[in-house]
Structure 1
Amino acid sequence: MFTGIIESVGQVESLQPLGGDVRVRIRTELDLSDVNLGDSIATNGVCLTVIAWGKDWYSADVSLESLNRTTLGQWKVGQKVNVEKAMLPTTRFGGHIVSGHVDAVAEISCVRHDARSLYFEVTAPAALAKYLAEKGSITVDGVSLTINHLRGNILSLNLIPHTAERTNIATWKLGTQVNLEVDILARYIERLLLGDKAAEVSNESKLSMAFLAENGFLK
């Protein structure tokens, strides 16, 4: 698990195709002295398992699932990425609960300055809109952020200079693809509301306004 508070900005050093998968190597200034084989490191919000590491680098194998569900398949050598080691029980919880399991790829649809802050609008896939809430938490490229305003599936973010300086956010431009992870609590609440119907096999959620009214959640 992670908190979404970025510890370092790393750089993609190599991308090696291996039998349909990819092995990625990240160069970072992050302290890796306490990293062990099999540890997790969130890289642009993607939970990667360390298979090899040195003083200032680590490598991980990336599955087809991760390549298809994240921006990792678009990464280039030299690209800047946000890096965070898995949290410890003693870690100060500065962000929110982040699993590193990316839900979808979203797109930066507006970029402008707002006083000293940076203002962004992110267009999320319509299917994720139900998990978004104004003033709720969202993880964008591994960064724990607050949704300031929400219009359907378009969420707005205001980032203070400190956040922009300590992450790769300064590289975001109109059309940039980013990894999106919704608040994990929203997903569990959805399953709980389904009750026994959660066991039914389906490719789509059965949670709807009609379902909530039928089962006494709405009056």
Structure 2
Amino acid sequence: MFTGLIEEVGQVQRVRREGAIAKLAITGQQIASSLAIGDSIAVDGACLTATRTTPPLFEADLSEETLARTTLGELRIGDPVNLERPCRPTDRLGGHFVTGHIDGVGTIREIRQTGGMWWFSIAYPEALRPLLVEKGSVAVGGISLTVADLDNRSFGVAIIPHTYYRTTLERKQVGRRVNLEADLLGKYVVRYLEGLGPLTRKAGLTESRLRDLGFV
């Protein structure tokens, strides 16, 4: 489990395909020194397992599933990546609960600076529509952010200077793809309502019905 608060921006050193998997080598001056083989680490929001550690470098294997469902298969030597170690039970939860299981890949549609901050507009896949809510949490490339604007095709997030300069967002451009993970609570609510099936269709999903179910 992660928080979406990026600890360090690492750099890709090697990407090597071996059959159906890929081996990814990343340098992280701060993080690699504390990693042990078998430890989890979030790379651009995707939870990976350290398979080799030779500080300041660590390696991780990318499965077919990871390559197909995230942007990690697009990484090249020299690319920056957001890094975060799992949170501990005693840590302050400054962001939100992030599992590192990517729900989809979005595309940056707009980047503009306004009032000392940056505004990013990100197009999201249709499957994420029921999982995104205005003022709700979303992880973009592993970064815990708040949905400030939302429509049927994209959402907007406001980025403060600290986040902009201490993550890979500073290097992003319009058209770049980013890993997206919706809020964990929202996924369980949607799944629960889907499981009610005929009950929700018969009663209608209204504010009153949600209140009866304990969600309002």
Shorter-chain TM-score above 0.5: yes
Whether 2:204 is the aligned partner of 1:212: answer no
Normalising by structure 2, what TM-score? 0.91
Whole-angstrom distance in 2 between the partners of 1:34 and 1:173: 32
Task: In structure 2, list runs of 5 or more residues that go unmatched.
Answer: 209-216
Give the aligned partner of residue 207 of structure 1: none
Instruction: Deviation per CA, 1:85-127: give whole Å up to 9, x if none.
Output: 0111111101000000111110000111111101110000122
Change (3 A) 1:186 1:35: same
Identical aligned residues as a percent? 40
Whole-angstrom distance in 1 between the partners of 2:27 and 2:35: 14
Instruction: Deviation per CA, 1:102-153: give whole Å up to 9, x if none.
Output: 1111000011111110111000012211110001000000000001011113
Whether 2:9 is the aligned partner of 1:21: answer no
2:88 is matched by which residue type in structure 1? L
Q: Which stretches of structure 1, 4 residues or more, deviate above 6 A after TM superposition?
A: none
Residue 216 of structure 1: how far off its partner (Å): 5.5
Residue 195 of structure 1: how far off its partner (Å): 3.3
Whole-angstrom distance in 2 between the partners of 1:121 and 1:151: 11
Give the match's secondary structure for 1:51: strand
Residue 160 of structure 1: how far off its partner (Å): 0.7
Is residue 37–residue 52 contact of structure 2 (8 Å, CA) maintained in 1?
yes
Give the match's secondary structure for 1:157: strand
2:200 is matched by which residue type in structure 1? L
Which aligned pairs between 1:60-75 and structure 2 lie closer than 5 A?
60-75=60-75
Which aligned pairs between 1:194-205 and structure 2 lie closer than 5 A?
194-195=194-195
Is residue 46–residue 70 contact of structure 2 (8 Å, CA) maintained in 1?
yes
Which aligned pairs between 1:128-139 and structure 2 lie closer than 5 A?
128-139=128-139
Give the aligned partner of residue 30 of structure 1: 30
Which aligned pairs between 1:41-60 and structure 2 lie closer than 5 A?
41-60=41-60
Is residue 33–residue 56 contact of structure 2 (8 Å, CA) maintained in 1?
no
Is residue 141–residue 179 contact of structure 2 (8 Å, CA) maintained in 1?
yes
Task: In structure 1, list runs of 5 or more residues that go unmatched.
Answer: 198-209
Instruction: Deviation per CA, 1:157-200: give whole Å up to 9, x if none.
Output: 11011101110101111101000011111111112223365xxx
Give the match's secondary structure for 1:130: helix
Q: CA RMSD in A?
A: 1.6
Is residue 122–residue 155 contact of structure 1 (8 Å, CA) maintained in 2?
yes
Give the aligned partner of residue 143 of structure 1: 143
Residue 35 of structure 1: how far off its partner (Å): 2.3
Whole-angstrom distance in 2 between the partners of 1:46 and 1:125: 17
Give the aligned partner of residue 164 of structure 2: 164
Give the aligned partner of residue 121 of structure 1: 121
Change (3 A) 1:100 1:212: same
Give the match's secondary structure for 2:170: helix
Between the two proteins, the alignment pairs up a number of residues equal to 207
Whole-angstrom distance in 1 between the partners of 2:145 and 2:162: 13
